[in-house]
Chain A
Amino acid sequence: MAALDHEKLIAYVEKMPAFPKSVQQVVHLSSDLNASAKDIVHVIECDPVMTVKILKTINSAFYGLPNKITSVQRAVVHIGLNTIKNLALAVAAMGMLNRKNKAHFNTDDFLLHALTTAAISRMLAERMGLSSSECSDGFVAGLLHDFGKAVFAEFMPEEFRSALEKSKALQLPLQQTELEFIGLNHAQAGKILAEKWSLSEPLSDAIAHHHSPEVGSNPLRDCIFAANQISKHLHFGNAGNPVIEPFPDFMITRFGLPLVLLLDELGDLHAVENEALAFVRG
């Protein structure tokens, strides 16, 4: 067992490049004088690595935000588009995540899972009647909930591969086998990173407890918990966890419906999948 410690985890993320498609898009859009601001912002918002690196920077005490922000759009309004664009370019200059890693973890499928979970999580937050900024937190929480896995795949591929294989073979929750091979699971890693990035308490809590719905009460966490199960149920991408967790009773109360009926009510979600696919494979 390798036992990944906090410092190492944080150092890995510092070195972590972004996803191939967004790196290409950011470079392409930044060399086009006529590119629209919203296109550039959209690319950044769909890449977990670019999103966290920008939020981490803008939330630091040097830029005077009284409350920590979780929205790239808000960062644009605060400091100006060009600075955000150049922060994204700096991330792009670090290279791109390997599509083929030693963990045999498909990063396209991972991103598809993250993006669909994000979009569904925002839909659920809207359905719950949360405020517009909480709904946008719902998207960010979904986008980042499995971030730890991307770090494991890039920097601890052998250990992560063992965790993936055992989870698949024995149909065990991935967070359980990660603990065995890495000494830390992706929810715990996500919590450490979210705190390091100064994400808001509900967001950090949602990422930390997206596999432990029994802990505390957090509507944002419930949104990503449910969105995560829905995305897995519909096979939108794949983030390596074969287990679909049932809704606990309080979750059924929260949404007024169990998973299957909630799915019915949300209607055809393939538009969500197609939009994410267009971004990932484009």
Chain B
Amino acid sequence: MKFKFWGVRGSIPTPGPNTVKYGGNTTCIEIRTNDNDLIILDAGTGIHALAQTLLREMPVKAHIFITHTHWDHIQGLPFFIPIFIPNNQIKIYGGLDPVTNESINRALSVQLQYSFFPIREAQLNARMDYFTIKPGEPIHIGAAKITPIVLSHPVLNFGYRIDCDDRSLFFTGDYEPQLNIHDPQDEEYAEFQTYVDAKRQEVILAMKGVDALIIDSSYTSAEYASKQGWGHGTYDSAIKLAADAQVKKLFFTHHEPTRSDTELDVLFQTLLKNNPATGFDLMLAQEGAEVSL
């Protein structure tokens, strides 16, 4: 199994001279199994460049797993060119939104409306299939097994574990571990903490021992102080999770949109200095980088 980052930026695309190295496209990860089955995690703007490469291998059969429906994770769907070409098969997987009760097909249909896009849903020529998936119930695609888990974010968000060819990968989507909402002196604090601890154990188990953990680490711990509840994790929380889950490689992604290449490099050097003996590799996710597991 191998994977490639096509988009690593959080929230909004950030093209320009300051993001040339790590890239400005929003989330998209291409996974190829040893049998060359194509699994795509999220459809941010990075999926457009991925689509260009797929035009060489028609007909395309793509399995797109959406972590959540925030714009930066679905914005590229209408620009995923294979959806317009006959004989392609595009399968889109995601959760059932508990608030709207809408399935994942809405992530595309909501964009293909007169006011927002020139092409209508009925004009898609590929065979489109949508699947509502459930946490803890694996999907099998060829040799790959994809297992979703609920990870807290301001909208329903799935982390995905992919096991394939004796290798494994976990991607969090956007994830802010829920902190205790009570103050330590509150009566409810202890009970709430048992729920926080139990959820953490569930998350660690889902990531356990993966070869690559790709995790939302938008903020430094200092920045996080003013961004609690925004739905994103920190470099430090990512390192702690990776250590507890005993992963092999940790990739920080969802780079904060105002963060320049230089700032990312400086941040990363500091992280390496402060975490000299983690027992696993630390890496910044970089657009275009390909990793064989």
Contact = CB atoms under 8 A, between A and B. Distances in A.
Interface string A53-92: 0000110011110100001011011111111001100100
Contacts of B225: none
B191 A86 contact: no
A62 B134 contact: yes
* Interface SS of B by simple majority: loop
Contacts of B192: 73, 77
A38 interface: yes
A62 B154 contact: no
Which interface class (under 10, 10 to 19, 20 to 34, 35 or more) fits B? 20 to 34
B186 A38 contact: yes
A85 to B, nearest CB: 9
Interface string B170-197: 0000001010011000101011101110
A252 interface: no
B229 A136 contact: no
B181 A37 contact: yes
A38 B134 contact: no
A132 interface: yes
B192 to A, nearest CB: 5
* Interface SS of A by simple majority: helix
B215 to A, nearest CB: 16
Interface string B97-110: 01100000000000
Contact of B156 (A41, A77, A79): A79
Interface residues of A, number: 28
A81 B192 CA distance: 13
Q: Which 7 A-B pairs have the closest CB atoms?
A: A64-B135, A80-B152, A82-B154, A37-B181, A77-B195, A62-B96, A86-B99
26 contacts: A36-B181, A37-B181, A38-B181, A38-B186, A57-B98, A62-B132, A62-B134, A62-B135, A63-B150, A64-B148, A64-B149, A66-B136, A73-B188, A77-B152, A77-B196, A77-B198, A78-B195, A78-B199, A80-B155, A81-B181, A81-B229, A82-B229, A83-B154, A87-B98, A132-B191, A136-B191
Interface of B: 95-96, 98-99, 132, 134-137, 148-150, 152-157, 176, 178, 181-182, 186, 188, 190-192, 194-196, 198-199, 229, 231
